[in-house]
Structure 1
């Protein structure tokens, strides 16, 4: 099978889909608007990267009409030479528009989040573009039910949910060289340090719990980089918990399972999120999780079974959930074990890849 992916080649989502599908023997060309800046595709013979060579984000406003015409011309040339069996665009606005305008069929379109939650609200034209792209697609995919529901506002077509799961062999409970003492109770998160991920509320919740239980060896681990790093470090100092907190900065993806395994419990109290991959990674490592009741997060956590769901922007209720888990090691172990079982049943990456290949094969019948 030959697959043409229209997607950001530097995105971890693209990397994971492309490398996994390539392992299944599919020949892949990835067309990316941005220049390649990662090495994840090195030595994978059946993946080729073609780029427009632009330095840009996925924000469609950075793409001029001229760049679209240039990109469309390049895609049509690739189709002519490569003769793909399937064209799959990841991100329903920018790459989706290129897929729709290419006129190729079968055309698969995956929605990612902001492309359906915010893009169509910008103007009537943006809404028209999204509807047009969805209309042209032979198959529409979403990583979560909440995102599929949002997408249904713009199309009458059926939307299949294709979870973005985790490799359970990579993300599993294991002994790691930790930054902490063995008896420490480590509360933390692995997220970009940006407003939408609500790291401030985790920090304030930790302050409440650590002040209440000053006798316990509670520690806070914040893994990730981002524009709020200095601001959050200052908040930690102001709250006088800097002696209990470690910021790691951005880490390579291969180290993510190591840091998950340093935690006693994982917290993700985002203000908005379409799907919680980091939460699934934590659960796969058998860590109990505390998440906010927004977007796709309540979908990946069964409240009271594989974790606790709390209101967003609420340090007090977040602190109460953290307290329950911090004080009861047996509860942490039970909820962590339930979480890994849930991942096995719903978010096992090998199952997700098989599902995607099945979708492609069905379209080719």
Structure 2
């Protein structure tokens, strides 16, 4: 099968779960003998190349004088349209040259909408990760004209799909409620995870009382909640240390000022986003990994830590309860509560038996549920089913 993925988020420009998913699934599909292509954003490097069997094509947003004349308040939607025009041109080339059977994209940014304004095929599969307009709402971005245009564009894109896949039951329900649409028969397929890359390493001894946060520094990820929980943990476990690993999304200065205000600088370290090959090492050297998000869909930070055999303490929101069974393979806490988060961290750190049980069960769960070949075969089955469908969701 010839499969094309659209994802502006892709290594080495990867900043989130969508890029990680596309990176993983494309390699798995290629190893199974499929011809796999990715259209992604350009950076300082070759525009077309083959990476582990995956054909990568990089594009820049179209440069039209018309776009420069539009009001600044429409900058967001203008940039998305400009990028989609470039993507559309590449889609047409790849479809003509390589007879693409199916195209998969996420719902955020509607990257291929310009192409599908004028074409019905190849069939479009959209995997619901998290619509960008929902993220804006959660981050309390003002609902400007630009915001409303982006929301309308994403709704059109979702309804244009021949087939939808949900990353969690929660995101399917949230998408329906947010856009006030009805979506029927949407299957849930987990993201694949390299369980041989993210795995326990008995040769590495974790640093005692080290707590890891791995993810972007933004309020939606609950970093401010964790910062406020740290003084509470230090009262009972003065030796505890906290490592934040991830790119700054505009809140690092706030967090640094907060650590000074709370007098916890000695216990906190901030590191920028690290290369993929180094990520498991940070899990291996911690005793507990925390995901204190205000909202999440199905975060890789949870899956990766669990795969490495680490107990995860995470917020009881979004799709996380579909991964973690509280007290069995992890710990769930109310979102936004520093007191509950601190209490859970203390409980796991000070109970060696609980810590060992949670980590062991976490690894077993991930190996069983997120086996890469198993997940990839489910994706292929969806593609086969989609090729037999004729109508997008908007016409059913």
TM-score w.r.t. the length of structure 1 is 0.86
* Secondary structure of the corresponding residue to residue 194 of structure 2: coil
After TM superposition, list the pairs within 5 Å mapping 1:290-329 onto structure 2: 290-329=313-352
Which of 40, 61, 79 is the aligned partner of 2:77? 61
What's the secondary structure of 1:286's corresponding residue? coil
- CA 1:176–1:245 in structure 2 vs 1: closer, same or farther (change >3 Å)? farther
How far 1:70 moved relative to its partner? 4.5
For residues 50 and 81 of structure 2, the distance between their equivalents in structure 1, rounded to whole angstroms, comes to 35
Instruction: Name the structure 1 match of 2:245.
Output: 223
**Residue 291 of structure 2 is aligned to residue 274 of structure 1:** no
Q: What does residue 190 of structure 2 align with? A: 163
Distance 2:37 2:360 in 1: 39
**Could you tell me which residue of structure 2 aligns to residue 5 of structure 1?**
5
Corresponding residue SS for 2:384 = helix
**Deviations 1:103-139 (CA, angstroms, capped at 9, x unpaired):** 2132211222034635798777555544433333221
Matches of residues 61-210 of structure 1 in structure 2 within 5 Å?
Answer: 61-63=77-79, 65=81, 68-98=84-114, 100-101=116-117, 102-115=119-132, 117=134, 126=150, 128-152=152-176, 153-175=180-202, 181=207, 184-210=208-234
CA contact (8 A) 1:96 1:109 kept: no
Deviation string, structure 1 residues 23-42 (Cα, Å, up to 9, x no partner): 2221122223x214589x96
Note the C-alpha offset of 1:284: 0.9
- 2:384 aligned residue: 361
Counterpart secondary structure, 1:251: coil
**Is the CA contact (8 Å cut-off) linking 2:85 and 2:115 kept in structure 1?**
no
Q: CA 1:51–1:38 in 2, change beyond 3 Å: closer, same or farther?
A: closer
Return the alpha-carbon distance in structure 1 between the equivalents of residues 85 and 268 of structure 2: 50
Quote how far apart the aligned CAs of 1:280 are.
Answer: 1.0
Superposed CA offset, 1:235-274 (max 9, x none): 2233222222332222111111110111111111111212
Matched, 1:31 2:39: yes
Q: Give the one of 236, 240, 245 matched to 2:259.
A: 236
Structure 1's 76 and 147: CA in aligned 2 closer, same or farther, altered over 3 A?
A: same
Superposition deviation, residue 208 in structure 1: 0.5
* Deviates most, 324-333 or 169-178: 169-178
What is the rounded CA distance, in whole Å, between the counterparts of 2:80 and 2:235 in structure 1? 53
Aligned-residue RMSD, C-alpha: 2.9
Partner Cα distance (1:55, 1:221) in 2:
40
Over 3 Å counting, the alpha-carbon distance change for 1:126 and 1:154 in structure 2 is: farther
With 312-321 and 244-253 compared, the bigger mean Cα shift is at 244-253
Q: Alignment length, in residue pairs?
A: 356
Any gaps of 5 or more consecutive residues in structure 2? Answer: 12-18, 64-74, 138-142, 389-396
Deviates more, 1:126-135 or 1:276-285: 126-135
1:260 aligns with 2:283: yes
Aligned to 2:367: 344
5+ residue gaps, structure 1: none
Question: Is contact 1:176-1:262 (8 Å) kept?
Answer: no
Asked if the contact 2:61/2:82 (under 8 Å) is kept, the reply is no
Runs of 4+ that moved beyond 6 A: 119-124
Distance 1:65 1:205, change over 3 A: closer
1:20 corresponds, among 3, 24, 28, to 28
| SS of equivalent residue, structure 1 residue 133 | helix
Q: Secondary structure at the match of 2:298?
A: coil
